[in-house]
C-alpha cells in the first residue's frame, strides 16, 4: 500500500511541473509492446528512430524502474552495462527553437560506474553532459538518495544557447546549469562499468518536447495540446497534424487588439473553440454590420436551450431579440433573408447551422460581443464554393466566407470561369464597402483595403454570367496576416497609369479608382473593374464613376488608347450637408487631368492641387463632376485656383480658399451690419448669438476687390 501511494504522489508531482503546452514530440515505454526496444525502433511522434549499440557486456530492455517511480503502464526504458556500455541515441525531427524544452525522466538506485545523458546537437556532437557516478549527480551538489526519480529538462533559451535543469522528486531538490552554447537536437543515454545486479540498472522514460510559446513551434511539427491552451489574439500557429483529445482544449482568442491565427497543414483530431470579437451598432441607421463565416463545421446559429435556460450561447437568441440582426443573402432574389420572421419569431429558412464557405451579416447593439465557433475545424485541403447568377431578376452577387481559421490571400484563390476578379467586403467601422482587385496580367493591384481575407470574414463576389460558378479556396492560399476583421484599411493604387480619388467630410470618407489598360474598354470588364456597392448608412458619402450605360464603378479600367481624349462622369452622393474635400492621388498618369465642377463651374487641374474643397448638401444631384483626361481646348483661362467661398456649419462661419488679409462683414438682408472682422487666410468664426434664421449677405473686401455671397442661417 505504501508503494502505491508513493507512486500516485509521484505521478501527480511530475505532472504538475508542466503547464498548458504545445507538445511537438513525445514517447514513453508504454508505446512498445515487446519486452525490449531495439535499434531503429520508432514509436511516439516527433522523434527519429532510436540508434542503439553496446560496447562490451551491456544491453537494453523494457521493465519497471526502481520502485516504479517513472513507469508508464509499469514500463520504462531499461539499460545495463557490466562492465561494458549500453548506448541509446535519439534525435528530434527538428532542432529546438528558442522557447522549446526537451524533458525526460531518469531513475537510478546505485551510483557506481557511469550513467547519464549527453545533450546532442544536429551533428550528434555532445554539447553538455549530465553524469551520475560515484562522484555524485553531476554539478548539482545533491546528496545521494536511493531510488532517485529525476526530471531532466533542457531548454533552448536563445538561437545558440540553452540551459539544463533537474528536479528530484525524492526531496524536491532543484538545480539549473549556467547558460550553455549550442542548439539542442537530441540526446544519448548511456550506462556502463557498473556492478552486476539489477539495482545498478539505469532507466529513462517519458520523453517530451514542449513549449508554451506558439512562436517556438516549427511549422512542420505535429502538435498535441496539453491542458487548456489559449492562442492569444496577436499570436499565430502553423503546424502539421494537430491533436486535441481528452479534457484538453484549444481556444483561439479574439479581442479588440486582434484574433489568433491557426494554419493546420495536416490532420486535426478533436474539437476547437475559435472566438470572434464583434464591435456593436448604436442606432438603426449607423450601418455597423459585420460579414462573418464559420471556421468549424456544423456551427449552430441559434442558442441551445435546456429546460428554458440557455445551455450554449450561439449567435441568435431563442426566441430572437429585436436588437440582434442575423441575415443570409439570397442571390436568386438579390435580397437579405432575416433570421426573424415578420412577427419576430425564428425564421427556419435561414438554416440551423452555418454553411461552410457561406457568409452571413450580423450586428449586436450597444456592447461589443465575443462569439464562439466550437466544433470540428474545417480542415479539408480545399473548399469549392458554389456561386450562382440566376437568370430572372438576380444580379449575381454571392456572400461567401473564409472557411479556415487563418487569412486567405485573395491573389492565390482560384476563380472559376464566369467569376469577376474583384473582392468586395464590408467595413463595419466606416459603414461602407471596400474593394480589391489584382489586375489580370499585371503586377499591381487597386485596393481600398487588403488582399488578405481574415479568418471568419464573409465577403461578396460577383458571378458575371448565368449558371453555377465556383470559387476554390485551398490550404495553400492561407497566410498569417495582421489584417484584423475588415475595418479601415489603406487604399492603394500601385498600378502605373492609375489614380485614386478620395472624398472626405468630417470622419466620413469614400474612394474610387480609375486606371488605364491596353485591353480595357468603356464597358464593365471583370478583369479590370469593380462595381460600386452602397453601404447601409445613408450619411456616408459615395463617390464613383459612371459609363454611358449607367454602370456604377468603384474601380474603373479604361482603354489606354483614350488616356488623352476622354471625359467621364464622376458622381457624388454626399450623404450629409457640409464641406467636402476631394483628394486626388495620381500614379504615373502623364496626361492632363481636369476636374469640372458642374455646380460651381470651377475647372481644377488635379495635378496641381492637394485637394479641392467645396460645399454639398445631402440631397444634391449626384451628377456633380466630370473628369477630363487630356488637354481641354477653349477653357484654358478657366482652369484656375478655385474661388473663395463661405458656408455655415452649426454656429460657425467658415471661409475657404482665401489667401492674405481681408475684411469680412456680415449684414442682414436689409444691409444692417451684424459682424465685422479683419481676417487673414482661411477662417472659422463663431457667429453672434441670437441670430434669426434666414438669408444674410457676406461681404469680403481685399484691397480694391470686393465680393458678396449669400449665406443661409438655419
pLDDT of the residue at 10: 39
Q: What is the dihedral of CA 363, 368, 370, 371, to 10 degrees?
A: -20
Residues in the chain: 714
CA distance 406 to 457: 10
- Candidates 19, 180, 30, 205; CA nearest to 103 is 205
pLDDT of the residue at 711: 78
H-run or E-run covering 267: none
pLDDT of the residue at 11: 41
277 has pLDDT over 50: yes
Percent of the chain at pLDDT > 90 equals 76
In the predicted model, what is the mean pLDDT of the chain?
91
The answer to whether 284 and 499 have CB atoms below 8 angstroms apart is: no
Backbone dihedral region for residue 650 (phi beyond 0: left; psi -120 to 50: alpha; all else: beta): left
CA distance 202 to 198: 9
Quote the distance between the C-alpha of residue 58 and its chain's center: 56
339 has pLDDT over 60: yes
CA distance 315 to 46: 39
48 has pLDDT over 70: yes
Phi and psi at residue 561, to the nearest 5°: -65, -15
For residues 625-651, average pLDDT: 73
DSSP string, 12-43: HHHHHH--SEEEEEEE-GGG--SS---TT---
Based on C-alpha coordinates, what's the Rg of the chain? 36
6 has pLDDT over 70: no
pLDDT of the residue at 2: 27
CA distance 605 to 628: 10
DSSP string, 353-421: BPPTTB-EEEEEBSS-EEEEEEEEBP--SEEEEEEEE-SSS---EEEEE--SSSEEEGGGSEEPTTB-S
Residue with cell 537536437: 185
Between residues 147 and 712, which one has the greater pLDDT? 147
Residue with cell 539542442: 184
For residues 61-65, average pLDDT: 96
Task: Name 96's Cβ contacts closer than 8 Å, sequence gap at least 6.
Answer: 102, 154, 156, 162, 183, 184, 185, 209
8 has pLDDT over 50: no
Render pLDDT for 370-423 as a digit per residue (tens, 0 to 9): 999 999 999 999 999 999 999 766 789 999 999 999 999 999 999 999 999 999
pLDDT of the residue at 640: 58
The answer to whether 254 and 235 have CB atoms below 8 angstroms apart is: no
CA distance 309 to 62: 54
The answer to whether 534 and 434 have CB atoms below 8 angstroms apart is: no
Phi and psi at residue 215, to the nearest 5°: -70, -15
DSSP string, 553-617: EEEEEEEGGGTTSEEEEEEEE--SSEEEEEEEEEES--S-EEEEETTT--EEETTS-S-EEEEE-
pLDDT of the residue at 698: 81
636 has pLDDT over 90: no
Residue 508 banded pLDDT, cuts 50, 70, 90: very high
- Candidates 609, 663, 603, 664; CA nearest to 634 is 603
DSSP 82: S
pLDDT of the residue at 256: 95
**Is residue 298 classed as helix, strand or coil in its secondary structure?**
coil
pTM for the model stands at 0.88
pLDDT of the residue at 12: 38
493 has pLDDT over 70: no
Render pLDDT for 285-307 as a digit per residue (tens, 0 to 9): 999 999 999 999 999 999 999 99
pLDDT of the residue at 707: 73
pLDDT of the residue at 125: 98
Residue 492 banded pLDDT, cuts 50, 70, 90: low
Render pLDDT for 85-143 as a digit per residue (tens, 0 to 9): 999 999 999 999 999 999 999 999 999 999 999 999 999 999 999 999 988 898 899 99
680 has pLDDT over 90: no
The answer to whether 67 and 6 have CB atoms below 8 angstroms apart is: yes
Between residues 51 and 682, which one has the greater pLDDT? 51
For residues 691-695, average pLDDT: 83
442 has pLDDT over 90: no
Render pLDDT for 412-424 as a digit per residue (tens, 0 to 9): 999 999 999 999 9
CA distance 533 to 276: 25
pLDDT of the residue at 637: 55
- Candidates 287, 234, 241, 288; CA nearest to 261 is 234
E runs forming strands in 428-551: 432-438, 445-447, 452-453, 458-462, 467-474, 478-479, 492-493, 498-505, 508-517, 530-531, 542-546
Cell of 528: 479590370
H-run or E-run covering 5: helix 2-17
Render pLDDT for 216-233 as a digit per residue (tens, 0 to 9): 999 999 999 999 999 999
pLDDT of the residue at 647: 72
CA distance 238 to 252: 13
Going from the C-alpha of 215 to that of each of 220, 242, 466, 578, 653, the distances in angstroms are 13, 15, 47, 49, 56
542 strand-pairing partners: 573
pLDDT of the residue at 17: 47
468 strand-pairing partners: 388
Evaluate the CA torsion angle 639, 641, 645, 650 in order and state its sign. Answer: positive
3-class SS string, 122-166: CCCCEEEEEEEECCEECCCCCCCCCCEEEEEEEEEEECCEEEEEE
Asked if the bond preceding 337 is cis, omega within 30° of 0, the reply is: no
Render pLDDT for 144-185 as a digit per residue (tens, 0 to 9): 999 999 999 999 999 999 999 999 999 999 999 999 999 999
For residues 603-621, average pLDDT: 93
DSSP 343: T
The answer to whether 373 and 296 have CB atoms below 8 angstroms apart is: yes
Lowest mean per-residue pLDDT among 429-443, 545-559, 627-641: 627-641
Amino acid at each position: 500500500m505504501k508503494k502505491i501511494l508513493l507512486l500516485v504522489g509521484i505521478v501527480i508531482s511530475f505532472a504538475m511541473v508542466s503547464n498548458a503546452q504545445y507538445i511537438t514530440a513525445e514517447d514513453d515505454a508504454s508505446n512498445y509492446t515487446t519486452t525490449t526496444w531495439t535499434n531503429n525502433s520508432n514509436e511516439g511522434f516527433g522523434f527519429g528512430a532510436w540508434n542503439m549499440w553496446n560496447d562490451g557486456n551491456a544491453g537494453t530492455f523494457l521493465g519497471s524502474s526502481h520502485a516504479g517511480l517513472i513507469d508508464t503502464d509499469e514500463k520504462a526504458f531499461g539499460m545495463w552495462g557490466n562492465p561494458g556500455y549500453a548506448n541509446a541515441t535519439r534525435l528530434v525531427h527538428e532542432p529546438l527553437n528558442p522557447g522549446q524544452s526537451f524533458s525526460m525522466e531518469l531513475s537510478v538506485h546505485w551510483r557506481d560506474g557511469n550513467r547519464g545523458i549527453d545533450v546532442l546537437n544536429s551533428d550528434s556532437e555532445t554539447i553538455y553532459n549530465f553524469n551520475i557516478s560515484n562522484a555524485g549527480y553531476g554539478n548539482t551538489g545533491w546528496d545521494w538518495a536511493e531510488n532517485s526519480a529525476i526530471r531532466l529538462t533542457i531548454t533552448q533559451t536563445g538561437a545558440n544557447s540553452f540551459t539544463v535543469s533537474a528536479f528530484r522528486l525524492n526531496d524536491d531538490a532543484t538545480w539549473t546549469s549556467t547558460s550553455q552554447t549550442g542548439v539542442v537536437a537530441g540526446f544519448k543515454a548511456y550506462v556502463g562499468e557498473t556492478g552486476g545486479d539489477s539495482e545498478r540498472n539505469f532507466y529513462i522514460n517519458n520523453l517530451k518536447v514542449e513549449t508554451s510559446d506558439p512562436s517556438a513551434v516549427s511549422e512542420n511539427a505535429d502538435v498535441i495540446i496539453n491542458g487548456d491552451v489559449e492562442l492569444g489574439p496577436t499570436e499565430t500557429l502553423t503546424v502539421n497534424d494537430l491533436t486535441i483529445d481528452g479534457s484538453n482544449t484549444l481556444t483561439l482568442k479574439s479581442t479588440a487588439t486582434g484574433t489568433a491565427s491557426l494554419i493546420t497543414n495536416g490532420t486535426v483530431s478533436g474539437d476547437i473553440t475559435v472566438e470572434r470579437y464583434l464591435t456593436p451598432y448604436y442606432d438603426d441607421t449607423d450601418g455597423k454590420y459585420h460579414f462573418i463565416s464559420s471556421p468549424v463545421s456544423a456551427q449552430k446559429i441559434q442558442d441551445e436551450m435546456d429546460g428554458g435556460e440557455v445551455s450554449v450561447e450561439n449567435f441568435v437568441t431563442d426566441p430572437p431579440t429585436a436588437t440582434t440582426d442575423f441575415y443570409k443573402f439570397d442571390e436568386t432574389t438579390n435580397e437579405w433573408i432575416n433570421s426573424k420572421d415578420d412577427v419576430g419569431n425564428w425564421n427556419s429558412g435561414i438554416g440551423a447551422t452555418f454553411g461552410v464557405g457561406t457568409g452571413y451579416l450580423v450586428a449586436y447593439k450597444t456592447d461589443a460581443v465575443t462569439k464562439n465557433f466550437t466544433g470540428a475545424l474545417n480542415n479539408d485541403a480545399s473548399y469549392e464554393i458554389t456561386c450562382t447568377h440566376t437568370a430572372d431578376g438576380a444580379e449575381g452577387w454571392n456572400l461567401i466566407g473564409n472557411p479556415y481559421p487563418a487569412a486567405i490571400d485573395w491573389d492565390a484563390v482560384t476563380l472559376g470561369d464566369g467569376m469577376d476578379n474583384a473582392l468586395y467586403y464590408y467595413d463595419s467601422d466606416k459603414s461602407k464597402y471596400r474593394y480589391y482587385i489584382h489586375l489580370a496580367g499585371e503586377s499591381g493591384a487597386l485596393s481600398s483595403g487588403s488582399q488578405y481575407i481574415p479568418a471568419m470574414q464573409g465577403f461578396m463576389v460577383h458571378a458575371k454570367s448565368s449558371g453555377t460558378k465556383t470559387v476554390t479556396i485551398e490550404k495553400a492560399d492561407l497566410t498569417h496576416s495582421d489584417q484584423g476583421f475588415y475595418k479601415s484599411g489603406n487604399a492603394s493604387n500601385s498600378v502605373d497609369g492609375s489614380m485614386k480619388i478620395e472624398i472626405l467630410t468630417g470622419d466620413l470618407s469614400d474612394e474610387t479608382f480609375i486606371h488605364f489598360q491596353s485591353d480595357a474598354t468603356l464597358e464593365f470588364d471583370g478583369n479590370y473593374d469593380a462595381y460600386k456597392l452602397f453601404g447601409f448608412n445613408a450619411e456616408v458619402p459615395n463617390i464613383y464613376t459612371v459609363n454611358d450605360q449607367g454602370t456604377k464603378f468603384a474601380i474603373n479600367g479604361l482603354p489606354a488608347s483614350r488616356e488623352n481624349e476622354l471625359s467621364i462622369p464622376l458622381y457624388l452622393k454626399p450623404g450629409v450637408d457640409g464641406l467636402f474635400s476631394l483628394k486626388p492621388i495620381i500614379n504615373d498618369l502623364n496626361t492632363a487631368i481636369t476636374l469640372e465642377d458642374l455646380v460651381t463651374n470651377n475647372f481644377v487641374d488635379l495635378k496641381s492641387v492637394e485637394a479641392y474643397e467645396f460645399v454639398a448638401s445631402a440631397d444634391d444631384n449626384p451628377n456633380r463632376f466630370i473628369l477630363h483626361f487630356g488637354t481641354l481646348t477653349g477653357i484654358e483661362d478657366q482652369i484656375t485656383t478655385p474661388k473663395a467661398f463661405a458656408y455655415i456649419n452649426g454656429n460657425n462661419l467658415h471661409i475657404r480658399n482665401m489667401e492674405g488679409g481681408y475684411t469680412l462683414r456680415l449684414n442682414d438682408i436689409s444691409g444692417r451690419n451684424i459682424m465685422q472682422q479683419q481676417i487673414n487666410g482661411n477662417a472659422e468664426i463663431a457667429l453672434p448669438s441670437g441670430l434669426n434664421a434666414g438669408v444674410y449677405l457676406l461681404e469680403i473686401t481685399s484691397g480694391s476687390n470686393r465680393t458678396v455671397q449669400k449665406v443661409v442661417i438655419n
